[in-house]
Amino acid sequence: MGEMDDGPNILGRGYEIVHLDSQLIVINKSCGILSVPGIGPEKADCIAMRVAAEFAGARIVHRLDRDTSGLMVMARDAETHRKVSMQFEARTVRKRYTALVGGHPIHDNGKIDLPIAKDFDRSPRQKIDPVHGRPSVTLYEVVERIETPLSARVHLHPQTGRSHQLRLHLLMIGHAILGDDLYASDEIRALSPRLCLHADQLAFTNPATDEFLAFESAAPF
């Protein structure tokens, strides 16, 4: 397993720009910063605010969890925001994540289909809820099996976009993500100083030109 870091954090900025044009901004987000403001003044600082301070009018299209690093797209005007958001809603956007998980999954690939709901008794956790949960599907493939520490590198293709979906789905097949302070055991959490989850591929259509745009960002772990 290679050396780990927190991902892009140019001069404390919290992100680096991967692509910039008159309609779109694609960034590589650092681990440890919110995508949008949380509840309370201590959670006001976020990617949405930082990017908008640099590029007036920039607005969030989708989110990554605070401790997830990787690729995000933002729109620079309302019409672009509407059209890119429609692609996410229609599930035509291609997304891939890389994670390091504890142990070795039995199967080299598979599908996790477990409905997710908020766990109001243990907020901000989510839970599997067959009755009230929303449909949630993740495809995974094992790309590397690591002996020391016993872990695996996996590629994840979420078919839905629920909060904590990847973290919870991997937990439910017995392979929590290294460094996960919400769902992993103390042993698995201690294997990494950060959550080992990174959005490493993002592809969508530029609504202004109909050009298909594809971006990659290597996982920093």
Whichever domain contains 47, its CATH number is 3.30.2350.10
Q: What was the pLDDT predicted at 4?
A: 55
Could you tell me if residue 195 is inside a domain?
A: yes
With CA atoms as reference, report the closest residue to 181 among 48, 17, 90, 66.
Answer: 66
Q: Please confirm whether the linkage preceding 124 is cis (ω < 30° from 0).
A: yes
Could you tell me if residue 4 is inside a domain?
A: no
- 194: Cβ contacts below 8 Å, ≥ 6 apart: 4, 6, 31, 32, 67, 179, 221
Residue 81: strand pairing partners? none
104 phi, psi to nearest 5 deg: -115, 115
Could you tell me if residue 58 is inside a domain?
A: yes
pTM: 0.93
Q: What was the pLDDT predicted at 8?
A: 52
Q: The tokens 């998980």 sit on which residue?
A: 101
3-class SS of residue 167: helix
Q: What was the pLDDT predicted at 47?
A: 97
Could you tell me if residue 3 is inside a domain?
A: no
> What tokens does 72 get?
């995000």
Could you tell me if residue 119 is inside a domain?
A: yes
Q: Which domain holds residue 27?
A: 10-216
CB 124, CB 186: distance < 8 Å: no
**Structural domain count of the chain:** 1
- Give residue 13's pLDDT band: very low, low, confident or very high (50, 70, 90): confident
Could you tell me if residue 143 is inside a domain?
A: yes
Q: What was the pLDDT predicted at 59?
A: 97
Whether 5 is catalytic: no
Q: What was the pLDDT predicted at 38?
A: 85
Could you tell me if residue 107 is inside a domain?
A: yes
CB 75, CB 81: distance < 8 Å: yes
- Give residue 34's pLDDT band: very low, low, confident or very high (50, 70, 90): very high
Choose, from 6, 21, 45, 65, the residue flagged as catalytic. 65
Average pLDDT of the residues in 91-108: 97
59 phi, psi to nearest 5 deg: -140, 150
With CA atoms as reference, report the closest residue to 80 among 60, 96, 104.
Answer: 60
